[in-house]
Homo-oligomer: A and B are copies of this chain.
């Protein structure tokens, strides 16, 4: 039985070496290379074709994890990509899965969970940490929460801190209409005040 070859991608040296040490305890998992950037990851994946790529999403300047996953898919490499990141923002999860990630793990996952995810990934099984899965599930289960294009537009201005009057001016609609849209947005987000809407919107979407 050949060991599973793994490429680690993370811009933090300590995370790479920690993960490497952790995976080193498993005889059937073999870390063959490490990359500190998306660019390096692509080159190494091409060159070594590891079975699994374990990738952080946030990677400082340059190509981010999502973009790296997309590129990997394009250069029709057949390795499975596992996202291994600190935060479970809704937008990141959706984007990563969309880009072709096989799994989504949080950095505080138990070691066994990480091993299982890697073994599962090579067999085409998709694995995600419990909190991640529940978030994704909620998104799918609750189509009510999908904002209309206009609402999304308004929300994106709302989180800039604009008042109703300013929102109306910016979108060429009356304040009354602004209030209507806001009421719908609040209902969909499950909040009651604009402050809470801003807070949850930024957190849910990873917006900045």
Given A60-B108, A108-B11, decide whether A199 and B161 contact each other with a Cβ distance below 8 A.
yes
Query: Could you give, for residues 182-208 of chain A, a 1 whenever the CB lies within 8 Å of some chain B CB and a 0 otherwise?
Result: 000000000101111111101100001
The CA of A167 and the CA of B68, in the complex, are separated in Å by: 42
Of A16-24, A118-126, A137-145, A168-176, the one with at least 4 CB within 8 A of chain B = A16-24
Q: How many copies does the complex hold?
A: 2
Interface-central residue, A18, A159, A160, A191, by most chain B CB under 10 Å = A18
Contact (Cβ within 8 A) B15 A15: yes
A3 touches B (CB below 8 Å): no
Contacts of A13 in B (CB 8 A): 18, 22, 108, 111
A163 touches B (CB below 8 Å): yes
Q: Which residue of B lies closest to A60 (CB)?
A: B108
Scan residues 1-57 of chain A and give those whose CB is less than 8 A from a CB of chain B.
11-22
Contact (Cβ within 8 A) B196 A161: yes
Contacts of A196 in B (CB 8 A): 160-162
Contact (Cβ within 8 A) B208 A203: yes
Contacts of A161 in B (CB 8 A): 191, 193, 195-200
Say how far A167's CB is from chain B's closest CB, in angstroms. Answer: 10
Contact (Cβ within 8 A) A16 B18: yes
Which residue in B15, B19, B108, B159 is a CB contact (below 8 Å) of A107?
A: B15
Query: Could you give, for residues 104-138 of chain A, a 1 whenever the CB lies within 8 Å of some chain B CB and a 0 otherwise?
Result: 00011001000000000000000000000000000
The CA of A14 and the CA of B11, in the complex, are separated in Å by: 14
Scan residues 59-117 of chain A and give those whose CB is less than 8 A from a CB of chain B.
60, 86-87, 107-108, 111
10 closest cross-chain pairs (CB), A and B: A18-B18, A161-B196, A14-B18, A161-B199, A17-B18, A161-B195, A12-B107, A14-B19, A17-B21, A198-B198
> Would you list 19 pairs from A and B whose C-beta atoms are within 8 A, ordered by A residue?
A11-B108, A13-B22, A14-B15, A14-B19, A14-B22, A15-B18, A15-B107, A17-B21, A18-B18, A21-B21, A86-B86, A160-B196, A160-B199, A161-B196, A161-B197, A161-B199, A195-B198, A202-B208, A203-B208
